[in-house]
Amino acid sequence: MTAPAFLTSSFYYYIDYGVSSMETVLNDIVAALALNSPGWTVTDNRPGTDSVTCVSPVDSSVTPHRFFTCVFSNVSGHSNLWLQCVTTDQNGVTLGTFVIEGTASNTWIMRYFTGQFHIIVDIEKDSAASEALVAGILDLSPEAQSAHSHYCYCHGSRNSSGALANNNLWFASMVDNVTVTDSNRVVSYNNSYSYGNPQATLRSPAGSFIFKPVIHVATNTLNTVSQAGRRYQQLLGSSNLTTEGGTLVVPTDIGSTGTFMMVGGLVSTGGATLFARVA
């Protein structure tokens, strides 16, 4: 048996403490992505524009090649407290513009979960709820990675106006058929034992907690809803297992394990939460 493809991609975890400015966050993103292998293409647009352009490693194993682009910006007029991310897919289609907001009253812990097919920027704030930005490419296996072109996604805690909108683990922005929509598309799970519950459970019949892949659905070119793929190096697990920033060792294959950390930025219902790989 081999580990599933979505657990075999590269990953790199970076953390920074005592952060109080999104300018520092831009510096962190540049530093974190520079340590990825395979490497990202990062263009620091400062000082002309207070932003960095980050292009994921090109997956040339399939045609057309797979990649996505994130432009992170320190939004002017918000006292270095707003970070915006604009994500485009391999065709240059804008998938979404999302924002996270810092607080002026205290410093933040910034966590960066990165890899060749994903990036998560997570901000933990003492005086307010955590927030996050996510973007990436989906694993299409067991089909070929070229089976369809609806594999790029993004989401964030706030919309482009800075309002908390769809600040939910289950939402993601993708191309549906030919139209970009930010919708409830992550297959949901919870801790419920109840009969007739339409959601699969995060417990085994014996009551043990288990982990699930983060599966997206999208409307395909036939205008029918289908499974689009699974996020790389991310899992859904019970929020009862640990707290934000806590880690758990999870089996990834026979005789192999990975360490996954709870991401605090996107809320959920039913007791499920997002975990991203750190080791």
Q: What is the pLDDT of residues 94-131, one digit of tens each?
A: 999 999 999 999 999 999 999 999 999 999 998 899 99
Q: Which pLDDT score, from 0 to 100, does residue 239 have?
A: 87
Query: Whole-angstrom Cα distance, residue 37 to residue 58?
Result: 12
- Do residues 259 and 278 make contact, with C-beta atoms less than 8 angstroms apart? yes
Closest CA to 68 of 122, 163, 138, 171: 138
The partner residues of 51 in beta bridges, in order of sequence, read: 73
Q: Which pLDDT score, from 0 to 100, does residue 198 have?
A: 45
Question: For 150-187, what is each residue's pLDDT tens digit?
Answer: 899 999 999 999 999 888 899 999 998 889 999 999 98
pLDDT value at 30 more than 60 = yes
The partner residues of 227 in beta bridges, in order of sequence, read: 217
Q: Peptide bond before 4: cis, by omega within 30 degrees of 0?
A: no
User: What is the biggest distance separating any 2 CA atoms in the chain, rounded to whole angstroms?
Assistant: 59
Query: Whole-angstrom Cα distance, residue 239 to residue 242?
Result: 6
Which helix H or strand E contains 253, and what residues bound it? strand 247-253
Query: Whole-angstrom Cα distance, residue 72 to residue 59?
Result: 22
User: pLDDT band at 139, cuts 50/70/90?
Assistant: very high
Mean of the pLDDT values across residues 186-191?
79
Query: Whole-angstrom Cα distance, residue 266 to residue 247?
Result: 17
Residues 6+ apart with CB under 8 A from 163: none
Query: Whole-angstrom Cα distance, residue 215 to residue 182?
Result: 15
Q: Which pLDDT score, from 0 to 100, does residue 270 have?
A: 73
Higher pLDDT pick, 206 / 216: 216
Query: Whole-angstrom Cα distance, residue 68 to residue 54?
Result: 8
pLDDT value at 224 more than 80 = no
Higher pLDDT pick, 193 / 17: 17
User: pLDDT band at 199, cuts 50/70/90?
Assistant: low
| Phi, psi (degrees; rounded to nearest 5) at 10 | -75, 160
Mean of the pLDDT values across residues 44-50?
95
User: What is the rounded average pLDDT for all residues in the chain?
Assistant: 91
User: pLDDT band at 48, cuts 50/70/90?
Assistant: very high
Query: Whole-angstrom Cα distance, residue 111 to residue 115?
Result: 13
pLDDT value at 210 more than 90 = no
Residues 6+ apart with CB under 8 A from 82: 22, 74, 75, 99, 100, 101, 102, 162
